[in-house]
Each structure stands twice: as C-alpha cells, then as structure tokens.
Amino acid sequence: MERRNALITEEALYSLAERETLPKFAERYDKVFVQYPLRVNESLNHQLAQLQSEGKIVIVYFGDALEIKKDYMRAVDDAVQSGHLEAPSPAEYFMETELAPLLAWSARLNADIVFPERSPYTELREELEKESEPAHA
C-alpha cells in the first residue's frame, strides 16, 4: 500500500495531541504537515519534538494564504459573471474561500488534507483512540 503525506490544520493537531493519538496518526503517513505558526503547550511540545526528530511531522510556512483566497474569489466572481457558474450561497462562498489555501498547499506538498475530527474521519479518530488505549492484561 502506498503511503501518503497528510496536511492537517492546527486545530486537528491540538485535538490529536490532547487525545494522545498524534503519534499513532503520524505512523499512518510518510509525513504530516502542519502550518506554522503554532501555539505550543507543554504536552504538544513534547509530542512535536519527538515526531519532528523522527521526520514524521513537518511544520511549514506559506505566506500566500491571502493571495490564494483573493485569486479564488476573483475566479468564482468571474465565472458567475460570465454565466459559467451558479453563484454559491454566502456560507458556501466563505467555506470554499477558507479551504482554497489548504487545497493549494496540499497540491504543493503532495499531501491529503485530513480532518481527523470530522466525518468520514471520525472512524479513524475512534480507531486511533482504541490503538492508544493501554492493553488490559
């Protein structure tokens, strides 16, 4: 089975670290990318240090989120104006604009965007939690 890279949000990183499932999650991928800057607490710092030393977690910085959002909004607006696209609802427009940088970065990094806290990844979260539980004798 081909192993892939993953791109996760800062929120997903914190959630995995709080549940102490970050190491198990990272084992499933060649590399896990998370965007800099991060607010690191003591628990996360320990887990990150270990996974970074193993090359499993890579913190990346892209300074072009705003430009990507503007380009996306301009492309959608042009497509709506020309009749090639139906105008999205304000909620859809906002969500798509927020996701545009993640999509661009995932393409640059050759990484899947993974949201371990959201469907369809809730099963993954539950599986990771089971794997992280201490074995009962």
Closest among 134, 100, 117 to 25, alpha carbons compared: 117
Distances 66 to 62, 76, 85, 119, 130 between C-alpha atoms, Å? 10, 15, 23, 27, 39
Q: Global pTM?
A: 0.75
On whether residue 89 sits in a domain, the answer given is yes
How does pLDDT run across 2-28, given as a tens digit for each residue? Answer: 679 999 988 889 888 888 889 989 998
14 is a domain residue? yes
What is the rounded distance in angstroms from the CA atom of residue 53 to the CA atom of residue 50?
A: 5
- How many domains does one find in the chain? 1
Q: Residues 100, 101, 106, 107: is their CA dihedral positive or negative?
A: positive
Q: Report residue 49 as tokens.
A: 């240090």
Considering the domain boundaries, does residue 19 fall inside one? yes
Domain CATH for 78:
3.40.50
pLDDT computed for residue 41 by the predictor? 80
Look at residue 137 and tell me if it is in a domain. no
User: Mind listing the pLDDT tens digit for each residue in 34-89?
Assistant: 988 888 887 788 889 899 999 999 999 988 999 999 999 999 999 999 999 999 99
Full residue range of the structural domain in which residue 115 is found: 5-132
Tell me if 115 is assigned to some domain. Answer: yes
Q: Is there a domain that residue 62 lies in?
A: yes
User: Is residue 137's pLDDT more than 50?
Assistant: no
